[in-house]
């Protein structure tokens, strides 16, 4: 069994800014043919998307897949609710975790694994404003150190 190639289509950087991601899961997604073609062209966004569990099934809401140009009547609604494909025990585990205070499910990235479209979902806790500020300060500090390091190496 060879290693399958992974091609990133959409990334949700905002999720890492707004949440602490504790666990990650890989889920398949139920799509129609024209949606897959549109995703192959990179026309997918998960910035405003969120995930909910309803009647033992997992759905992603707010995921935007632009209509395929040559799709005409076969195109679906770009913002329709799409079903995510997970094992039953994973769904039950996630449902139990979400019942705890402060946990939510967020889509982290959409990618091709071989020929299949996969969605990486994260079990996340919301960040407070001071957490976000601390992260920004850490990032700035690291950037300054890297800049100093570059300058030092340049004149050595």
Residue 35 lies in a domain: yes
Residue 41 lies in a domain: yes
Q: The domain containing residue 65 runs over which residues?
A: 6-127
Residue 133 lies in a domain: no
Read off the pLDDT of residues 20-53 as tens digits, 9 standing for 90 and up.
Answer: 888 888 988 888 878 888 888 888 888 888 888 8
Read off the pLDDT of residues 70-109 as tens digits, 9 standing for 90 and up.
Answer: 767 767 777 788 888 889 998 888 888 888 777 888 898 8
Residue 143 lies in a domain: no
Report yes or no on whether pTM surpasses 0.95.
no
Identify the CATH number of the domain in which residue 93 sits. 2.40.280.10
Q: How many domains does the chain have?
A: 1
* Cβ–Cβ < 8 Å for 107, 120: yes
Residue 66 lies in a domain: yes
Residue 51 lies in a domain: yes
- Per-state percent for the chain, helix, strand, coil, to nearest 5: 35, 35, 30
Q: Would you state the pLDDT for residue 1?
A: 47
């Amino acid at each position: 069994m060879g290693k399958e190639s992974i091609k990133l289509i959409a990334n949700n950087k905002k999720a890492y800014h707004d949440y602490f991601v504790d666990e990650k899961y890989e889920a398949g997604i139920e799509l129609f043919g024209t949606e897959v073609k549109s995703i192959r062209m990179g026309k997918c966004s998960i910035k405003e998307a969120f995930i909910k569990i309803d009647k033992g099934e997992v759905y992603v809401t707010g995921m935007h897949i632009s209509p395929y140009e040559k799709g005409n009547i076969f195109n679906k609604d770009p913002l329709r609710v799409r079903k995510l494909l997970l094992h039953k025990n994973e769904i039950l585990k996630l449902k139990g975790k979400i019942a705890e205070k402060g946990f939510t499910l967020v889509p982290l990235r959409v990618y091709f694994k071989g020929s299949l479209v996969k969605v990486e979902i994260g079990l996340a806790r919301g960040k407070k404003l001071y957490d976000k500020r601390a992260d920004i300060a850490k990032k700035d500090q690291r950037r300054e150190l890297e800049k100093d390091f570059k300058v030092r190496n340049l004149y050595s």
